[in-house]
């Protein structure tokens, strides 16, 4: 579902210019698809539900990913999380598969589904596949041990992947997520950096209520359990994770993508995250500004290829764009996600616009 977004609150917030859809899909060629699984109510019965989960996929540019890879890099702020395929991204500097995000216990299923997706589209079949699949934990609201995400759900998300506006909140992999003690999930935003665009998509499932900040204002201190109830679940405060995916059309090399991914955590910190022990905070950035990066397992060509790159001194605007897009994507996820009751009657309340606006006005000088 998609609700009111941060820029639609009617407040004079200090937000930098964004692309036409304020989404990761503002980077040409990037597409996003979701499969959302919601069923059942009442007590948790493993294997039966309630089900509050799904999968989100990001396709980096038009065409088959393995035939048209992109430079990529990754960064980890805290490692209590999983993102398969990142060791090869770090080693090779290339992203050669779609990116998928789901719940913690469905990573294997989603990875295997993407492995089977490859032969259906491949130029060659004599290669290996190391898909990029990330997770955050939705076991507070969802029957996470019921393994409800299946191969057909991954393929449905791939078929649904499209440009333009992106559904946010309790959709896809973000369906059962909780963020800063509110209902969380998928959020996206973009920033313009001169002639280039940087887009972010997050799966937000982290954070303590009192740490939440909006455009620098410490609103979380005014939104205690007496204002908006917290989910009744026995998890350590701040537990959870966030996955951040950044895309840009700037011509960046692999190590520059790694540096861009690191700046996503500046945006996370601005919202009030990044300081919990039991959290997996992982970012992946890819750049579509070079064509013809044909890897050795597609063709046996050994001749040099020509690529473009920005000089390092031109990267600062992209770094700021990465931080700003991540910050706004998290807040869009919070605003889009409506109240949800899941397994055992646990309820994660949405952050209503009225409550947030009141808190912002009380924080303002």
Report, as residue numbers or ranges, the catalytic residues: 241, 279, 281
Rounded to 10 degrees, the C-alpha dihedral 26/177/70/117 comes to -110
Q: Note whether 264 and 200 are within 8 A (CB).
A: yes
Structure tokens at 121: 């589209």
Q: Maximum distance among all alpha carbons in the chain?
A: 66
Cα(312)–Cα(73) distance, integer angstroms: 15
**Complete DSSP assignment for 27-61:** STT-EEEEEEEEE--SS-BTTTB-EEEEEEEEE-S
Reference 356, options 211, 245, 217, 164; nearest CA is: 217
Cα(129)–Cα(96) distance, integer angstroms: 9
Structure tokens at 6: 């941060």
Partners of 51 in the beta sheet?
Answer: 39
Cα(75)–Cα(262) distance, integer angstroms: 5
Cα(356)–Cα(5) distance, integer angstroms: 12
Cα(179)–Cα(246) distance, integer angstroms: 20
Q: Is the peptide bond before 50 cis (omega within 30 degrees of 0)?
A: yes
Q: What is the number of residues in the chain?
A: 365
Q: 3-class secondary structure for 113-144?
A: HHHHHHHHCCCCCCCCCCCEEEEECCCCCCCH
Place of tokens 């090869």: 88
What phi, psi does 334 have (nearest 5°)?
A: -65, -45
Is residue 12 helix, strand or coil?
coil
């Amino acid at each position: 579902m998609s609700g009111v977004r941060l820029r639609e609150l009617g407040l004079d917030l200090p937000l930098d210019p964004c692309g036409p859809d304020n989404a990761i899909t503002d980077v040409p060629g990037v597409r996003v698809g979701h499969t959302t699984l919601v069923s059942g109510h009442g007590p948790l019965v493993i294997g039966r539900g309630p089900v509050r989960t799904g999968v989100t996929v990001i396709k980096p540019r038009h065409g088959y990913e393995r035939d048209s890879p992109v430079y990529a890099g990754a960064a980890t702020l805290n490692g209590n999380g999983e993102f398969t395929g990142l060791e090869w991204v770090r080693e090779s500097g290339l992203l050669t598969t779609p990116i998928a995000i789901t719940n913690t216990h469905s990573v294997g299923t989603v990875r295997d589904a993407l492995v089977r997706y490859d032969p259906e589209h491949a130029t060659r079949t004599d290669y290996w596949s190391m898909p990029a699949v990330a997770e955050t934990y939705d076991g507070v609201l969802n029957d996470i041990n019921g393994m409800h995400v299946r191969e057909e759900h991954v393929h449905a998300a791939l078929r649904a992947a499209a440009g333009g506006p992106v559904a946010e909140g309790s959709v896809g992999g973000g369906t059962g997520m909780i963020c800063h003690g509110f209902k969380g999930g998928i959020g996206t935003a973009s920033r313009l950096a001169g002639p280039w665009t940087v887009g972010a998509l997050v799966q937000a499932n982290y954070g303590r209520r009192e740490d939440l900040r909006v455009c620098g204002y410490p609103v979380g201190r005014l939104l205690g359990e007496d204002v908006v109830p917290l989910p009744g679940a026995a998890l350590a405060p701040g537990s959870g994770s966030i996955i951040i995916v950044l895309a840009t059309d700037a011509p960046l090399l692999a190590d520059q993508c790694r540096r861009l991914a690191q700046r996503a955590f500046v945006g996370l910190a601005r919202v009030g995250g990044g300081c919990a022990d039991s959290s997996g905070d992982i970012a992946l950035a890819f750049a579509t500004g070079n064509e013809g990066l044909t890897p050795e397992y597609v063709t046996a060509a050994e001749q040099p290829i020509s690529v473009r790159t920005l000089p390092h001194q031109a990267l600062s605007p992209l770094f700021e764009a990465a931080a700003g897009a991540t910050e706004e994507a998290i807040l869009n996820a919070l605003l889009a996600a409506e109240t949800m009751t899941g397994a055992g009657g646990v309820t994660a309340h949405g952050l209503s616009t009225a409550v947030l606006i009141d808190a912002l006005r009380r924080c303002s000088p």
